Amino acid sequence: MNKGRWRSTLHLRCCCLSSNGLEINRIMVSVPKRHFKRAVKRNLLKRRMREAYRLHKELAGGGGHDILFVYNSPEIVPYADICEELKSLLNSIASER
């Protein structure tokens, strides 16, 4: 991810590589173990981020991106907050095209 461009919001970080040679976007979701020791909490946050992406993936503007989302906060925030932050990150990815 050294070649990608990093963006961040209050609770999320995002790295985007713009050309994967495909017509679809590929995503990776990460929740660090140093913030959440229990897998149940990490999986909850990963599910929330995947669902937010699934509902708003058209905001990324077409395919061909490799996108990494990293949850970078020591607290669990509500789904609505994650959704808003992810939409903002996707809009910033689309605005660069």
Per residue in 73-94, pLDDT tens? 999 999 999 999 999 999 998 8
Token pair for residue 14?
Answer: 């995002």
- The predicted-structure confidence for 39-66, as pLDDT tens digits, reads as follows 999 999 999 999 999 999 998 877 788 9
Between 36 and 96, residue with greater pLDDT:
36
* Residue 44: per-residue pLDDT: 97
Residue 68 β-bridge partners: 15, 28
pTM higher than the cut 0.95: no
* Residue 97: per-residue pLDDT: 65
Residue labelled with tokens 């994967």:
20
- The answer to whether 82 touches 48, Cβ cutoff 8 Å, is yes
Residue 70 β-bridge partners: 13, 30
* Residue 19: per-residue pLDDT: 75
Fold designation for 5-95: Ribosomal Protein S5; domain 2 (3.30.230)
DSSP alpha helices (H): ranges in 36-78? 39-56
pLDDT of 13 > 80? The answer is yes
- The answer to whether 23 touches 64, Cβ cutoff 8 Å, is yes
**β-bridge pairing 5-8 and 12-17:** antiparallel
Q: How far is CA 72 from the centre of its chain?
A: 11
How far is it, in rounded angstroms, from Cα 71 to Cα 12? 5
- Tell me the mean pLDDT in the region 32-43: 96
